[in-house]
Every structure is written in structure tokens, then in C-alpha cells.
Amino acid sequence: MSTRRPSLLDPVFRSVETLPGIGPKIAAALVKLTGPYVLNLLFHAPSHVQERVALEEPDDPHVGKLVILPFEAEEHRPPASKRMPYRIIGRSGNQSLEVSFFHASRDYLHRQLPTGIPRWLSGELGVYNNRYRMLHPDYMVPNDAKASIPRFEPRYALTQGLSMQRLHKAIAAGLELLPHLPEWIEPSLLKQRAWPSFGQALALLHAPDGKDASKARERLAYDELLANALALALVRQNARKRPAPPLTGNGRLQGQLRQMLPYQLTGDQERALEDISKDLGQPERMMRLVQGDVGAGKTVVALLAMLQAVEAGRQAAIMAPTAILAQQHFDFIAPLAARLGLKCVLMVGKDSAAAQRQARMAVADGSAELAVGTHALFQDGVGFRDLGLAVIDEQHRFGVAQRLRLSDKGQGTHILLMTATPIPRTLLLAEQGDLDTSILREKPPGRLPITTIAKPVDQRGAVVDALKRALAQGAQAYWVCPLVEESEVVDLANAEERHESLQKVFGDQVVLVHGRMTGAEKDEAMAAFASGRAKILVATTVIEVGVNVPEATIMVIEQAERFGLSQLHQLRGRIGRGSGKSTCILLYQPPLGETSTRRLQTLRESDDGFEIAEKDLEIRGAGELLGTRQSGLPKFRFGGLEERPDLVPISHKDARLLIMQDPSLRATERGQAARLLLYLFERDEAARYLVTAA
């Protein structure tokens, strides 16, 4: 069966250049602003709707407002210099009105506003030199064309070379091309919510005429959420249908590892392992996410799961987003694996050609049962003898394609996703769908609470003095800054400048790590800090996850008000990993706004990452919380995820029901309509799974 876009949608997938009155220059501006298709144009939602008030003459109560006024020009006054406006003096009702233009053509203005000829103007009413004035009217029409000036007009984001009126005309032309589409929303929900049809919603969005467009926006937000939920459900359905040999271990290696550990696993870890073991024992591919709060012990859970794969006679690999985190995993796993009689190899891009070749040979011939690496694990030259389990850490930093490429390295590879970023339920649904999830909230026994304090940035000197005393007693500290180098635009703390200033006090005890350094430079600095040769690590947020130095007990975060709550929680989680009492100092730039105050107060009061993540979602919204580029979280045009989070679970319940009733989306009228929805909201990739779902 073909997954070609249905022909019914061809009119809205035409190039914007095919619209009447759109030449190459305007088309280029439209493409830059919205995208190449007419549909992109229709999905360019207005930022607000402005209302014009029609008056018989200007008056004081309407100064500063958008008005429609009659006007008859009496005198044109060209400017004496280019810096002066072109002024046209005339009458509006019984009042004098000046209409002014900068950089306007004299001939054009004489054609538009000839003396003695009545016109209707629209623009913001102002006052200048005790006379009413209108600067650059947005409409100037003949006396009999007053009705052509819209009373209610959507206002949009624009780009250079594109006027508001030109955009309005293009959208109006695009709406005329929109075909009548069958309904994909479940009828009872449509009735309960009193939503218009898809076509009516788009029309109302762009031409409100004073009507409340909230239902239209809500309907379109739900459409987008439903398209996303359907796409996730189809991908998940396809993954479940792919057979995977059960990984049934005898528990020997896992039992030996448990005896090596100097602590008992928490209840959450045990429950997560029970879930994973049960999934691995099924004849279908596991797709499970382990959400672990900072310091909750995800890596141990991952290693025990990997050992179950080895007990079943297969290989296991763990993929991390950075070389620093991969090295950290390797340093933890490799010694334990060696004591179990297993070989673990490290595969990162910075390795020498010889080291990479040896690692590839070891996983290819099966002599290495375990592998740890970055994206180097799924490069074309890497082949596993029999990869049974792929663990993907900080999974939101990898695209879906990258995750699948690692799982495709084996026949029926089970997938375990992990994240140290607690994700609110709403976001988890939007990003992953109904993924099987295990949550690690409990901290291992012996972890001491972290004292969190906030100080204004002008107390930086006192913090440095406190660091002197702490370092004299053997402590180590992180100092985190928002930017790498000085910016003239944003006055933020500078990692390189802070490194230099701290070196003047502490000398070679201070090292620097940031994202623009080479891998070798970062590794050298991290090694110095981890070994204790360096006592202070100045860094950007490159250390947000994965860095584990138990001796580090102090975290200074400069201009903390600039960070998100979840990010601050992740940074704070780099300390409190040893037996010493730890302190996190939040340096802020006063005065603090309401949002920043709430953020810092929440961090001081709570160390529960899940509670903090929910609060962060409430304060910042979904897109900023995870970062759409980093997380793979789709960008929602109509704000459904952030403005109407209550619609997310409804959309996923509806998607599940629809897929259960019509797995191929072609056996029912609603299923066929839902197929159109996938293409409308650019979830085309999911359509290829419809081939195997039939």
C-alpha cells in the first residue's frame, strides 16, 4: 500500500507562489515566514486581533487607539529634508487632521489623497502640535469603500519584505483552496466541546469578525495533539509488532553484582528491575523508560538489565549523548564487568583509529559482551554479534532516528530509555506517548540533604572567601556560569572570565570546561577535577548531567535567575553524592521578578525532581522546559500543550481507541479522515507504519 499523500490535500500542498498576486519576492518572504506550502500559511496563527472604532471625527477619548475616520485633504506639504515627514493637512468631520508619512512618494500620496476628494482612513489616532494626527494609515480607501476596511483584523508576525495587508490577502486566497475534509474527531467529543469543523475553525482563526475565536483555537490545538498522539501510537504499535527473542537470564551475574554493591537497592530500583525483567521475558520488543531523579541510581538499574541480556547469551550496549557521560558510565561499569569475567569496551568518536578498530572487532566477534559509547555506537562500521538490549541514556538528547539506528544493530533488540530529567506526565505523553515507564524517586541510603541558599551577586566576594576556607579543609566545588564568552547583548556571567578571576585567587587549582572546547581539552580538565588535582571546576551547563565526583560538595550557580528550575535541579544534583555535607549557592542579580522569585524559592524548599518539574512546567511552559530542539518534542503551532494541557490525555485516549478499532486507518470513515490529519500536521513519517499495520 502506498503512503503517498492523499490527493484530496493537493490544493493546500501547492506552493505559495501559485497564489494570485504572489510573485517570487513575496513568495520568498512567505516561505521564510511560514513555509513552502499554502497549508503552512493557513497554520500561521495571528498573535492577536485588533479592533477598529469607526468615528465621524477624531476625539480625545480615542487618542492612541485604532480608528476609522473620514478625511478630505486640503493641502500637501512636502518635507524640507529627508528626515522630515510628508504632511497632508485636511478635515475630518469638524476637526483638523494631519496625515503624515516618512519616506513616501509624492506622486503616490497625491493619487491616494488628492485634495478635495473624500476618503476613509484607518490608523492610530494621535496628537501633534495641538492637532489630531494619523501617522502612516494602514488603509486609505475611496468614500464608497468604507466597508472594505475590516473592523476586526488579525495581526501576525511578519518578516522583511512582507506587509500585513499582503499577508492577509495571501491567507484569504489560501482559505479559498481549502477542501471540505471529513471529520476525524470522535463525534461525542466534538459535540461536548462545541467545536467547529476544521475548515470553520481555520476561517474563524483568520477572519474573526468580532466573534470569539477561542473555540476555533481550541479545536485546532486538539487536532494537532491528536495528530501527534496518533503518530506516537502508530510507531509504538509497529515496535510492539516486531518480534524480539525473550531475554531470560538465570540471575547468576545479577546476583554476583548485587553482592559487590556496598548498598542495598531502593524499593523503586527493585520495582523498576521487576518491570524490566518481565518485559525482557516477553516475545516482543521492550520499550520502557526509566525516569530517575537526580542521584536515584539509574546506572545500576541499567547495568543489572544489561546483565540479564548477557545471561541470556546476548550482548548489551549503553549509549550516552556526550563523551564525558559515556566515559563516566564506562568507568563505573568496566571494573564491575571485569570482576564478573566480562569484557566492556568504550566507543566514542575521540578515540584513536586503532582503539576504535579494536572496540569494533570486540563487539563484532562477541568477545565484548558489553559496550558503552556515544553516537559512535550506531555508525555504519559498527556491527554487533548479537545485540539483545540497547540502553539509551538521556534519551531526549537523541532524535528518534538515532535511537532506532542503535536498536537496528541487532535482531529484535530490546530498548531501555533512561532520563535523569523528571518529565511531567503531560510532557511525557506529548513526547513519548503511552510509553511503559518506571520511576525512581527514592535516593540510596546515606545521601545527605543539600543545603540550598540564595545570595545577591554582589556577595560574590564573600562566596570566594568561604570557598577558601572550604578548600583548605579538602572540599571541591563547581562554579557554573550561563555563557562561555562575553556578550555585548546579554550581560551574563562569563565562564572564561570567571575562570580567570578565580585563578588569580586559587591558581592552578581551577580548571575550565565548556561546550566549545575540544573533547581532549574537556577530558583533561574533568580528569584533573575527578582525581582531586583541581579543586574548582568552572563550567557552563555541559556538566548538567552525568558528572559524578563524590568529593565535590559545593555548587555555585551564577545568575541563577537565568536558568530553568529543572536545569537548576540537575546542576545541584552534581553535589551531595558523597558522605560530606553539601551546599548549593544561587547567586542572583537583583531585583528579581515574580517568576525568578518563585523559581529560586521552589528550589530552596524542595529536592523532589518530579515536584520541581511540574512547577517548572507551570512557570515556563513545555517548549522552554525541555527545549524542543534538544528533546525532540514537537513544536505545537496552536499551543495545545502549554495552553490546554488537559487536552493531551484526551487526545492519547482517543488515539489509542482509534488505532484499536482501525489499525490501518482505512477500514472506517473516521480512520481514513485521521490519515489526512497525519499529513496535515506533518506527521508523515508515522504514515509508513500504516503499511505494516494493515
The C-alpha atoms of residue 235 and residue 190 are separated, in whole angstroms, by: 26
How much of the chain exceeds pLDDT 70, in percent?
87
Burial status of residue 650 (CB atoms within 10 A of its CB: 0-12, 13-18, 19 or more)? middle
Please check whether the domain covering 451-606 is classified as CATH 3.40.50.300.
yes
Lowest mean pLDDT among 381-395, 505-519, 539-553, 560-574: 539-553
Per-residue pLDDT of 486-524, as tens digits, reads 554 455 568 888 999 999 999 999 999 887 777 778 878
Interacting residues of 384 by C-beta distance below 8 A, sequence separation 6+: 315, 317, 363, 364, 371, 409, 410
The whole-angstrom separation of Cα 120 and Cα 472 is 79
Residue 42: per-residue pLDDT: 96
Q: With bands split at pLDDT 50, 70 and 90, how would you rate the model's confidence at 246?
A: very high
CA–CA distance, 474 with 480 (Å, rounded to integer): 20
| Per-residue pLDDT at 635 exceeds 70 | no
Pick the CATH number of 252-440 from 3.40.1190.20, 3.30.390.50, 3.40.50.300, 3.40.50.150: 3.40.50.300
Report the chain's mean pLDDT, rounded to a whole number. Answer: 85
CA distances from 272 to 266, 436, 447 (A): 10, 11, 20
pLDDT tens, position by position, 64-114: 999 999 999 999 999 988 889 999 999 999 999 999 999 889 999 999 999
Q: What is the pLDDT of residue 628?
A: 34
Name the pLDDT band for 553 (thresholds 50, 70, 90). Answer: very high
Counting beta carbons within 10 angstroms of the beta carbon of residue 557, is it exposed (0 to 12), middle (13 to 18) or buried (19 or more)? buried
3-state SS record for 485-512: CCCCCCCCCEHHHHHHHHHHHHHHHEEE
Same fold across 53-149 and 252-440: no
Domain ranges of the chain: 53-149, 252-440, 451-606
The percent of residues in the chain predicted with pLDDT above 90, rounded, is 49
pLDDT of residue 47: 87
The answer to whether 179 and 12 have CB atoms below 8 angstroms apart is yes
**Mean pLDDT across 2-11:** 83
CA pair distance 608, 616, nearest whole angstrom: 12
What average pLDDT does this structure show over 141-150? 92
**688-693-694 Cα angle (round to 5):** 110
Q: What is the mean pLDDT of residues 380-391?
A: 89
Provide DSSP, 111-174: HHS-BT-EEEEEEEEEEETTEEEEES-SEEEEGGGGGGS-SEEEE----TT--HHHHHHHHHHH
Instruction: Count the residues in the chain.
Output: 694
Sign of CA dihedral 367, 371, 376, 379: positive
Of residues 419, 449, 418, the one with CA closest to residue 607? 449
Please give the average per-residue pLDDT across 541-570, as a whole number. Answer: 80
Q: The pTM is what?
A: 0.67
What does the pLDDT read at residue 356?
86
Mean pLDDT, residues 262-281: 93
pLDDT digits (tens, 9 = 90+) for 607-624: 877 777 777 776 655 444
What pLDDT was estimated at residue 211?
74
- pLDDT (0 to 100) of residue 425: 63
State the Cα–Cα distance between residues 554 and 551, nearest whole angstrom: 9
pLDDT higher than 60, residue 116: yes
- What pLDDT sits at residue 693? 39
Which CATH architecture is the domain 53-149 placed in? Beta Barrel (2.40)
Q: To the nearest 10°, report the CA torsion of 638, 641, 645, 649.
A: 110
How would DSSP label each residue in 80-123? SSTTSPEEEEEEETTEEEEEEESS--HHHHHHHS-BT-EEEEEE
Residue 1 has pLDDT above 90, yes or no: no
Read off the pLDDT of residues 391-445 as tens digits, 9 standing for 90 and up.
988 755 555 555 555 566 667 889 898 887 676 666 666 666 667 888 888 877 7
Q: Mean per-residue pLDDT for 222-244?
A: 81
Cell numbers 555508525 label which residue?
379
With a CB cutoff of 8 Å and minimum separation 6, the contacts of 107 are none
